[in-house]
């Protein structure tokens, strides 16, 4: 379900407060009156900070005039949006069809077990978080895992410790 209803009347404050960088403020100013603006603004905010903090949600509400409850309604409806800060190194395990059939499910469980975290958690040192993703476009290398900008293919569970070690 897409949010296609811009804030009625929209906020005209346009203030660059709340720690938002100028580019994000400009983006919100440009989008806040357009249909579907909330989704676009949330995407841009997560792209900027890696997640959407309470502070960011409040700032978006202030800048757009969209009630905070509605902002949170959209954030929680779409699993894509994160409300907790990700690890310094974002681990993404592919659970697209090819990867799933080659053991992607076991891989993500093993990755979380090795790092001692549950879904949505970050390691105590703040280095790693583990998310599932759908097809990252290299199915021939299934199963695939991405750490930051690095892609690892044809993975086996016993390869994980050596890979994580590179980022510590
Ligand atoms: S299904 Fe995993 S890369 Fe395509």
Contact 108, 95 (CB under 8 A): yes
If asked whether residues 15 and 73 sit together in one domain, one would say yes
Total number of domains in the chain = 2
Confidence bin at 36 (pLDDT 50/70/90) = confident
97 CB within 6 A, ligand 1: yes
Answer whether 142 contacts ligand 1 (Cβ < 6 A): yes
Q: Are residues 105 and 152 in the same domain?
A: yes
49: pLDDT strictly greater than 60: yes
Q: What is the pLDDT of residue 144?
A: 97
Residue 114 sits in a domain of what CATH number? Answer: 3.40.30.10
pTM above 0.75, yes or no: no
Tell me how far the alpha carbon of residue 115 lies from the centroid of ligand 1, in angstroms: 23
168 vs 149: CA distance, rounded Å: 15
State yes or no: pLDDT of 135 exceeds 80: yes
39 and 59 belong to one structural domain: yes
Q: How far apart are CA 130 and CA 22, in angstroms?
A: 30
pLDDT over 90 for what percent of the chain?
79
- With contact defined as beta carbons under 8 Å apart, do 94 and 136 qualify? yes
Q: Is the CB of 40 under 6 A from ligand 1?
A: no
Q: Is the C-beta atom of 138 inside 6 A of ligand 1?
A: yes
Inform me whether the pLDDT recorded for 24 exceeds 80: yes
pLDDT over threshold 80, residue 3: no
Best substitution site from 105, 131, 140, 142 to test ligand 1's pocket, by max atoms within 8 Å of Cβ? 142
Kindly state the average pLDDT of the residues 27-52: 93
In a domain, 61, yes or no: yes
Asked if residue 99 and residue 150 are part of one domain, the reply reads yes
Residue 154 clears pLDDT 90, i.e. is over it: yes
Compare 164 and 82 and report the one with higher pLDDT. 164
pLDDT at 43 over 90: yes
Given a cut of 90, is residue 164 above it in pLDDT?
A: yes
Domain end point (choices 77, 110, 137): 77
Residue 84 lies in a domain: no
Residues 57 and 101 both lie in one domain: no
Q: 42 with 65, same domain?
A: yes
Question: Is there a single domain that holds both residue 102 and residue 146?
Answer: yes
Q: Is the CB of 135 under 6 A from ligand 1?
A: yes
Mean pLDDT of 145-163: 96
Same domain, 95 and 45: no
Residue 82 lies in a domain: no
State if residue 94 touches ligand 1 by the CB under 6 angstroms criterion. yes
Domain boundary at 77, 110, 136, which? 77
Residues 113 and 134 occupy one common structural domain: yes
| Domain of 144, in residue numbers | 89-165
CA of 154 from ligand 1 middle (Å) equals 11
Judge whether 128 and 87 are in contact, CB under 8 Å.
yes
Q: Tell whether 83 is covered by a domain.
A: no
Strand order across the beta sheet in which 128-133 lies: 128-133, 89-94, 145-147, 150-152
Between the CA of 150 and the centroid of ligand 1 the distance, in Å, is 15
- Whether 72 is covered by a domain: the verdict is yes
């Amino acid at each position: 379900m897409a949010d296609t209803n811009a804030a009625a009347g929209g906020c005209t404050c346009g203030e660059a407060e709340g720690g938002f960088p100028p580019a994000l403020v400009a983006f919100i100013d440009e989008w806040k009156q357009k249909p579907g603006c909330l989704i676009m603004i949330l995407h841009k905010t997560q792209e900027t900070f890696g997640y959407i903090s309470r502070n960011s949600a409040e700032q978006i509400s202030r800048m757009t005039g969209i009630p905070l409850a509605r902002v949170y309604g959209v954030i929680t409806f779409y699993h894509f949006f994160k409300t907790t800060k990700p690890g310094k190194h974002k681990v993404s395990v592919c659970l697209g069809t090819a990867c799933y059939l080659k053991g992607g499910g076991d891989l993500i469980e093993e990755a979380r077990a090795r790092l001692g975290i549950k879904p949505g958690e970050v390691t105590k040192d703040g280095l790693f978080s583990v998310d599932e993703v759908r097809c990252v476009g290299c199915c021939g290398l299934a199963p695939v895992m991405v750490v930051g900008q690095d892609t690892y293919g044809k993975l086996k569970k016993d390869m994980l410790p050596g890979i994580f070690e590179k980022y510590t």
